[in-house]
Amino acid sequence: MYSPGMPSLTRKTKRTGNGLRAAALSVAAALLALALTGCTTLRTTAPSAARAHAAADAGTARFGTVDCREAKCIALTFDAGPSEHSARLLDILEEKKVPATFFLLGKRHIEKYPELVRRMADEGHEVASHTWDHKILTSLGAEEIREELERPNKEIERLTGHRPTLMRPPQGRTDDTVHAVCRELGMAEVLWSVTAKDYKTTDPDLITRRVLDQASRDGIILLHDLYDGTVPAVPGIIDALKRRGYVFVTVPQLLAPGKAEPGRVYRP
């Protein structure tokens, strides 16, 4: 999925004669300006590429209980929690024996439900960051971006004993400045390939159909456990995808034997 709001660098125009040279200089200047302001073409790494890069050193070793080089893996991820629905979601995941990756918000979420953050980590889920206050990072300067990421990092580490290494930028909006701050903080960015747009509906059946229609091997499913229709859809999503032969994994398991590299953006 392309990050919303990212500028296109491939506009087509027709010019002739000496105008071509001037146009080329103009484009070069524009590209330089975009690079300096952090608004450049989004480059992403697929899970399969992350695994392939590490394969030479890994040999034939297995990673945890699942090897996604062989298994038909898919990652279930939830943004913007914890919420009043998260305890029920964790019950479902425990019952179905499915790990998930949680990209948590700080303000009004981690602050309000610290016991659920601990439970997520204790039950084997990956706990990651969705920023402190859901600000659009591409509209901020480097210091403000750093603040948006460091605050939830510190709280998650305090609650779980582990500092997050993954983050998801609000609305998927990212640029070179965001990459640079993430690299500095030791974090990789994770986007998605499946979205149910559950923020627009409370219908669990519709959410389920949207996920199933888009699911594919190495997919990363984006859901939000704070919306009323989402958690009721989860059991059906899990059961249907298991019947199709999918194995659920966390995002780090999806990349293994590769590891998420700070400053990189991962997307199927």
Q: Which residue out of 79, 175, 176, 218 is catalytically annotated?
A: 79
DSSP character at residue 45: B
Residue type, 100: A
10 Å CB burial of residue 203 (0-12, 13-18, 19+) is middle
Is there a catalytic annotation at residue 134? no
Place of tokens 């699942």: 66
Residue 55, pLDDT score: 62
CA distance 257 to 238: 25
- Roughly what angle, to the nearest 10 degrees, separates helices 230-243 and 86-96? 20
CA distance 7 to 214: 25
Q: Could you read off the pLDDT of 101-116 as tens digits, one per residue?
A: 999 999 999 999 999 9
Residues contacting 16, CB < 8 A, separation 6+: none
Identify each DSSP E strand in 30-184 by its residue range.
Answer: 73-81, 101-104, 126-129, 166-167
In degrees and rounded to multiples of 5, residue 222 shows phi and psi of: -105, 120
User: Residue 130 in contact with residue 167, Cβ under 8 Å?
Assistant: yes
Residues contacting 41, CB < 8 A, separation 6+: 6, 9
Exposed e or buried b per residue across 36-70, where buried means at least 16 C-beta atoms within 10 angstroms of its C-beta: eebbbebebbebbebbebeeeebeeeebeebbbbe
What do you get for the CA distance between the two ends of the chain, in Å? 8
CB atoms within 10 A of CB 237: 26
Residue 42, pLDDT score: 87
Q: Which residue out of 85, 125, 130, 224 is catalytically annotated?
A: 224
CA distance 137 to 114: 25
List the chain residues with pLDDT less than 50.
Answer: 1-18, 20-39, 58-63
Q: Could you read off the pLDDT of 170-194 as tens digits, one per residue?
A: 999 999 999 999 999 999 999 999 9
Q: How far is CA 27 from CA 21, 31, 42, 100, 172, in A?
A: 10, 6, 18, 44, 26
Is there a catalytic annotation at residue 213? no
Residue 61, pLDDT score: 42
Residues contacting 261, CB < 8 A, separation 6+: 188
